[in-house]
């Protein structure tokens, strides 16, 4: 049968009605994660989004927790324009200067012995590659992750994800185990003083894992701060103890710094606080500042063993020069503008504002996080700490009405936690605006309960 010669329909003009836009969206788009935000985003600049009907929205999520330099940063724009005009994509076995430069520069930001990088596209892909490497090198297949984790939607990454998306898709990869989350606000194992006894919790978790394991524990894949899990930061000392558990069992420690890496928490990497060095580090989101760029970074010994065993991760966009050039520009801006220091100072400003809000609203149970990654959890009352996910959803909607884009984490038994991650280029004035809108949204919503 001959191919149709009928040209595609003419794209709708900018004068097309909002109703027609949403009708087309509902007819032609696959829904991939709940309802779409009912705004047509026309452009973005700095810390703000601009809608087709003229509204200005303050972006407190950095897009998908990625645009750490804000939107349309002039140096990123210039890099994309120059690079796409000279060298954008290559056969996957070819190399270019931006790729080798980025690998070297990433190694320079990290403690020894992390020095070998694989450049990919998304966080799921980087975790997939890290898990594949760990399984090949250890000769084992079992993976341990936090029970509130999010590592991606591809097979191995999704099998290590427990916060959402596990129901209805059939069996995941065999040999995946969930480790209890060390949540200091909602402790399950407690000391005599009522605080979290994380060491006893960790021992208990691995006792269960050891009982279920077939003797094939390959790696532990965890986030230094659980983001989709509700901005939960394990207490100091936890990761050193976790690394020891891994060493006792011949497991590799993989840290997923998709959202915490590259200055977001006030240091270049969140794991720096704990004095541990992972066997494998995965980066994404923040590395491309909104463009699809990810990395797997490991040491020479693991890379050599993987190579000798025939490690294969030959993908369409591995080592692409266009996004690698963007990654180099991201490192330039982070370094030149000292955005790690800026994240610390702005983070303290943001945390103080959120703490002030919490002190005036009994429905705010906890404020937590580090640097410019913050969480604010809603509860039914200051003592009960019961789930208040509906309140969180209402506050999020009211924020949007008032001109602030927020993200709410709603997990069973955890209430609703706002995930706050403004760009590192934000100003105190912009953070103050966001805090003011949030304060009003909580007041407006609480009054309707």
Positions annotated as catalytic residues are: 150, 223, 256, 259, 285, 419
Distance (Å, rounded) from C-alpha 370 to C-alpha 185? 15
- Answer positive or negative: Cα dihedral of 129, 131, 133, 135: negative
In the three-class reduction of DSSP (H, G, I as helix; E, B as strand; rest coil), residue 19 is classed as: helix
- Backbone angles phi and psi of 355, in degrees to 5: -65, -40
Distance between alpha carbon 393 and the CA centroid of its chain, in Å? 20
Distance (Å, rounded) from C-alpha 44 to C-alpha 422? 14
Q: Cα torsion at 58, 359, 225, 266 (round to 10°)?
A: 70
Distance (Å, rounded) from C-alpha 158 to C-alpha 150? 8
Tokens of 359: 């002190």
Distance (Å, rounded) from C-alpha 184 to C-alpha 44? 37
Half-sphere exposure (CA, 13 Å, Cβ side) for 449?
A: 19
Output DSSP code: residue 33: S
In the three-class reduction of DSSP (H, G, I as helix; E, B as strand; rest coil), residue 168 is classed as: coil
In the three-class reduction of DSSP (H, G, I as helix; E, B as strand; rest coil), residue 283 is classed as: strand
In the three-class reduction of DSSP (H, G, I as helix; E, B as strand; rest coil), residue 207 is classed as: helix
Whether 406 and 379 have beta carbons less than 8 Å apart is answered as: no
Say which residue the tokens 């304060």 belong to: 439
Q: Where are the beta strands (DSSP E) in 162-207?
A: 176-179
- Backbone angles phi and psi of 375, in degrees to 5: -125, 140
């Amino acid at each position: 049968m001959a191919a149709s010669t009928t040209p595609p329909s003419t794209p709708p003009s900018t004068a097309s009605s909002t109703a027609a836009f949403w009708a087309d969206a509902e007819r032609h788009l696959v829904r991939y994660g709940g309802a779409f935000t009912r705004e047509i985003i026309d452009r973005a600049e700095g810390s703000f989004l601009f809608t087709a009907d003229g509204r200005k929205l303050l972006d407190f999520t950095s897009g998908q927790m990625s645009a750490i330099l804000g939107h349309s940063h002039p140096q990123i724009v210039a890099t994309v324009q120059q690079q796409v005009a000279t060298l954008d994509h290559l056969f996957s076995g070819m190399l270019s200067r931006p790729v080798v430069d980025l690998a070297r520069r990433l190694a320079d930001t990290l403690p020894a012995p992390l020095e070998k990088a694989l450049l990919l596209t998304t966080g799921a892909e980087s975790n997939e590659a890290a898990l594949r490497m760990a399984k090949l090198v250890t000769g084992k297949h079992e993976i341990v992750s936090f029970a509130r984790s999010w590592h991606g939607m591809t097979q191995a990454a999704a099998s290590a994800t427990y916060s959402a998306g596990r129901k209805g898709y059939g069996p995941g990869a065999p040999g995946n185990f969930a480790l209890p989350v060390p949540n200091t606000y909602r402790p399950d194992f407690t000391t005599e003083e009522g605080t979290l006894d994380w060491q006893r919790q960790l021992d208990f978790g691995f006792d269960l894992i050891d009982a279920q394991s077939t003797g094939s524990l390959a790696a532990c894949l965890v986030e230094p701060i659980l983001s989709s899990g509700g901005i939960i930061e394990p207490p100091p000392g936890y990761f050193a103890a976790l690394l020891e558990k891994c060493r006792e069992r011949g497991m590799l420690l993989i840290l997923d710094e998709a959202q915490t890496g590259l200055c977001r928490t006030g240091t270049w990497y969140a794991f720096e606080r704990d004095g541990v060095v992972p066997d494998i580090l995965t980066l994404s989101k923040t590395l491309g500042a909104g463009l699809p760029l990810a990395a797997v970074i490991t040491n020479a010994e693991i890379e050599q063993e993987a190579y000798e065993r025939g490690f294969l991760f030959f993908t369409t966009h591995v080592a692409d020069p266009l996004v690698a050039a963007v990654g180099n520009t991201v490192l330039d801006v982070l370094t030149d503008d000292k955005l790690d220091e800026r994240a610390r100072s702005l983070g303290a400003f943001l945390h103080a504002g959120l703490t002030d809000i919490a002190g005036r609203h009994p429905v705010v149970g906890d404020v937590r996080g580090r640097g410019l990654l913050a969480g604010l959890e809603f509860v039914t009352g200051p003592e009960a700490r019961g789930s208040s996910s509906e309140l969180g959803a209402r506050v999020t909607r009211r924020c949007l009405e008032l001109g602030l884009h927020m993200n709410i984490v709603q997990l069973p038994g955890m209430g609703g936690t706002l995930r706050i991650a403004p760009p590192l280029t934000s100003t105190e004035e912009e953070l103050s605006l966001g805090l003011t809108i949030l304060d009003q949204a909580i007041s407006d919503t609480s009054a309707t309960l």
